[in-house]
Structure 1
């Protein structure tokens, strides 16, 4: 990917969100639809991930650089 990966949050949609959903599913934190929609279910899954990995540098439920780096390090590219 070129440049910095986007920060994803509630209301975003697209292939980046689909990848996030698939990665969260790999570690058992997301059981919702793989639809590319950053809804409340995705937000809750990201928040749970951040709490369990003690990622405190980012807004809760927002998929930013620190959260992305951590999640990508423990999942395979879908």
Structure 2
């Protein structure tokens, strides 16, 4: 199972992490990935200046924003399955 951590710390919260979580949840359901992707909230992942911090497996994904979240999901989640 692919584990995806999304930061909900102060900086990422202000940059839209809850919108990103909701969008990821919707895309996981839409693409029927419930048994393949595990979505988790996390506190600071240490990359506060790079957009919302997201960790997929052992790799950090940078520059995820409210405006590019669907594209990043396709690249970084769908591309690994």
TM-score tier, shorter chain, comes to 0.3 to 0.5
TM normalised by structure 2 equals 0.33
Point out the structure with the larger strand share.
Answer: 2
TM normalised by structure 1 equals 0.34
